[in-house]
Chains A and B, each alone.
Chain A
Amino acid sequence: MSTPTLDKHSAALDAAEDSDSHTITVTFRIRRFNPEVAAEATWEDFQLELDPKERVLDGLHKIKWEQDGTLTFRRSCAHGICGSDAMRINGKNRLACKTLIKDINPEKPITVEAIKGLTVLKDLVVDMDPFFQAYRDVMPFLITKGNEPTRERLQTAEDRERFDDTTKCILCAACTSSCPVFWNDGQYFGPAAIVNAHRFIFDSRDEAGEQRLEILNDKDGVWRCRTTFNCTDACPRGIEVTKAIQEVKRALITRRF
């Protein structure tokens, strides 16, 4: 009898239909800019079928692969580690690869635009050079004096815990490009650079903390922070950015007095 096979087949079909019925129609409202076409950026709407459990990045892929191949955005690992796809989704800086459709109210159009405070080159791609310049300027690498030890540099668990939070940074620029001080004045180091300075300032193995503190003591350093907590809210890794900045401020003051 062929009935069992038929049953199995229809069950599979049912499952397929079932998963189909899970999709909903979502509108993506994307801020498009192409200097080769026009000088102004414009909003463009895309309608697509998505499972609410999918991510915003899946939607962008679907648009790029099926509707408009000219849509330009950065993404590399697509799993929240490389930090390439930070963008402003519904007015908040997030990673497109970590934002589920169901978490951002798919009933209304989902707005997607480039992160602010950096030059938009095309669509969602910005010029990250000033961001990485600030990162470079805080010397984000181990600096030591004296002879190199013959074995690894050991550290207690407590010493490691001291800067654990700031080691999580993936340099996605979500914090720096959510900072109102940075929007208005790109000379400010920005939260990300301070977080990465914090990671070495409070590392017991590093010996250039003084130098880094001196750099951040400058007029474009930590004292420009207005503690608006935008950076802490934006960080996709959950780093307490404002707290890290505050700890650098405290280190500067206790060093002086």
Chain B
Amino acid sequence: MSAETTPVNDATSLYDADNPAPVIEAPRKRTGKTPKTTRTNFELYGWLFMRLSGIVLVVLVLGHLLIQLMLDGGVSKIGFAFVAGRWASPFWQAWDLIMLWLAMLHGANGLRTVINDYAQRDNTRFWLKMLLYTATVFTVLLGTLVIFTFDPNIR
């Protein structure tokens, strides 16, 4: 119970009052040198975008799943012809385009938040975000390209 009987005393040779062990610093702690406000509204718009795109996505994604997987014979009907038929209509082109953009930006912003919350070192944080942005831009551009340049006579 007393300090003498605990194994911590085995380490007395290593540390004493003049040579204390290093304390474990809290990650990225705030100091007087912490940069002051940047005066941008980026985080505000990001926060709002998540709420608004979330509401729209509930309709778009659930509608998409319903049409693709449940109605009219379900998943077995999906084929090249089905997709070609849908994308002949500007309505479904717009639906898919909006869904692609909102879902990708919504997901990317969510992951950006997760990286900001959990990556401790500035370098890790930076490179994870760069990877995320590259992947997002690539997917969004590729998807947009396919929706607009889709050729039903490709076969």
Contact = CB atoms under 8 A, between A and B. Distances in A.
Given A119-B23, A133-B30, A186-B26, A38 B43 contact: no
Contact of B44 (A120, A133, A186, A223): A223
12 contacts: A32-B8, A37-B12, A39-B11, A40-B8, A119-B23, A119-B26, A127-B23, A187-B28, A218-B37, A219-B42, A256-B41, A256-B44
Contact of B48 (A133, A187, A253): A253
B44 A253 contact: yes
- Give chain B's interface secondary structure class: loop
B73 interface: no
B2 A68 contact: yes
A120 B36 CA distance: 26
B29 interface: yes
Nearest to A63: B1
B26 A42 contact: no
Interface size class of B (residues with CB under 8 A): 35 or more
A50 to B, nearest CB: 16
A37 B37 CA distance: 41
Interface of B: 1-3, 6-9, 11-12, 14-17, 20-32, 34, 36-44, 46-48, 116-118, 120
A2 to B, nearest CB: 45
Given A186-B28, A253-B44, A133 B34 contact: yes
Interface in A106-125: 117-121
A40 B25 CA distance: 13
B103 to A, nearest CB: 21
B23 A252 contact: no
